[in-house]
A and B are shown apart, each in its own frame.
Chain A
């Protein structure tokens, strides 16, 4: 196959497009990193390097409070989502029953309903039933609803391709059902459980929309604090915390890739819709 001149130009253009789009995707994020170590606001490129904004960040009490709330919330949501999601993944993957497909769609619906609608609906409902006065609990329920579908997706996926002969042998050898689950089944799907937990944590820890609707002045998760910095005072320590969050995200991606493998990760993430 010899390449004609037009083909060469087309090939070159396709490659150029790929590079440009790649730069569009990750390029802007590098400027955040640069700005976070730039002591002079509005000076670009930076003339000096310093950790000023990182120190400033730590000195803010609203940041420390927000981080505490978000970590507590994120860990509680993760725990609840993993337990609830894993429990429900077993019947979904292993038992044939009427309405299973419909129920699956319903369980994944928090990812399909626009988040602004979920946020308004939950606020409205929590006011109605009186839960709203407990802000932490409201946030916990709201964010768990968003996080559970990820765990269901990941864990059901690993159970569908599960070789059940090991479980059978264990039961044949006299182990109880509980022993088999704890010693055989759960350890075998551990990578998926961990991946589900990471998804759940990420979904709650970075959630903006639902967090803003359900939070109050006393209970303010980190994304809400940062969002109000961005809206009302363009605080340069935003660059510092953004950099830290991006480092966390990158670590998360590599861990997920290790746990699930690339193909499966893409399969799961195509249904991932973080808040906008």
Chain B
């Protein structure tokens, strides 16, 4: 009993329960990622993958305007979506952190949680119903006698649905930040006669700057790897990097090049996460 409860030194027996997860995540998942990393440096001689070291895949990626253009579109869509998430998420987060009405908070919360949990199929289907050329919005515009607007099969459509997907992450990050600032400073400034706008601009906004940065970096890192959203909302006319990965791997079987693009996505996404960690030393931890 003593050894079980009080001895905090690691005995092999106590660490044994880690074994299945080490096997699954360190061994299987880790090996899979390591093998993808090496495959990105393999040669592809259709239809075979040859295990010989080459930089050809990366050289090809960074010297072809098609891929550089797609990289640019990917970065732009993720950046615009994460800025939109910031602008749209802030009022919701502020309401959640500060609203005195319990009812308002629980309604907002439920909305954010539904937006977070709703599956990608339902999400995309809902937006297609609205944004399609013959969709509900265009039907309404035609009814009003206005012309049709192209809302999907372009970057706009991808940005709209990406923003819808990423918004809850922005709200949670911002809410934590606004909540931790506390309302006492704001109340003091109000008591001293400052206007609401000045309190917000001079106190709340600067103090929540770390939260703002975290929100943008987090949503950006998630946004660059979007796959289903650009596939459906881009309709083959607008591509993001993930769509190229799928196309190269599934249609042509070019695993080395697909792996190379996947690595580029991973690099962009993870460097954004690392920047976040470095800036705020907000370690990824359990609770």
Contacts and interface: CB of A to CB of B under 8 A. Distances in A.
A interface majority secondary structure:
helix
B164 interface: yes
Contacts of B196: 3, 7, 10-11
B25 A109 contact: yes
Interface in B114-129: 114-129
Interface residues of A, number: 110
Given A18-B95, A31-B136, A231 B265 contact: no
B114 A273 contact: no
B113 interface: yes
Interface in B90-140: 91-92, 94-95, 107-130, 134, 136, 139
A127 B10 CA distance: 38
A63 interface: no
Contacts of B54: none
Contacts of B162: 276
A92 B113 contact: no
A245 B287 CA distance: 29
B224 interface: yes
Contact of B121 (A6, A157, A234, A242): A242
A24 B163 CA distance: 10
Contacts of A259: none
A29 B118 contact: yes
Given A29-B118, A91-B15, A120-B259, A253 B113 contact: yes
Contact of A145 (B28, B191, B228, B285): B28
Given A114-B269, A117-B225, A160-B286, A124 B36 contact: yes
A271 B36 CA distance: 25
Interface in A222-247: 223, 226-227, 230-231, 234, 238-239, 241-242, 245-246
Contacts of A97: 10, 15
Contacts of B225: 114-117, 276
B275 interface: no
Nearest to A149: B25
A118 B265 CA distance: 11
Contact of B117 (A93, A125, A249): A249
Given A116-B265, A125-B32, A239-B125, 8 more contacts: A6-B195, A95-B8, A107-B21, A114-B225, A114-B269, A164-B5, A223-B121, A270-B176
Interface of A: 1, 3-4, 6-7, 10-11, 14, 17-18, 21-22, 24-26, 28-29, 31-32, 35, 42, 44, 83-85, 87-88, 90-98, 101, 103-110, 112-118, 120-126, 128, 141, 144-145, 148, 152-153, 156-157, 160, 164, 167-168, 171-172, 177, 202, 206, 208-209, 212-213, 223, 226-227, 230-231, 234, 238-239, 241-242, 245-246, 249-250, 252-253, 257, 262, 265-267, 269-276
**Closest A-B pairs by Cβ, 8 of them:** A114-B225, A97-B10, A125-B32, A87-B17, A121-B36, A157-B287, A88-B21, A206-B119
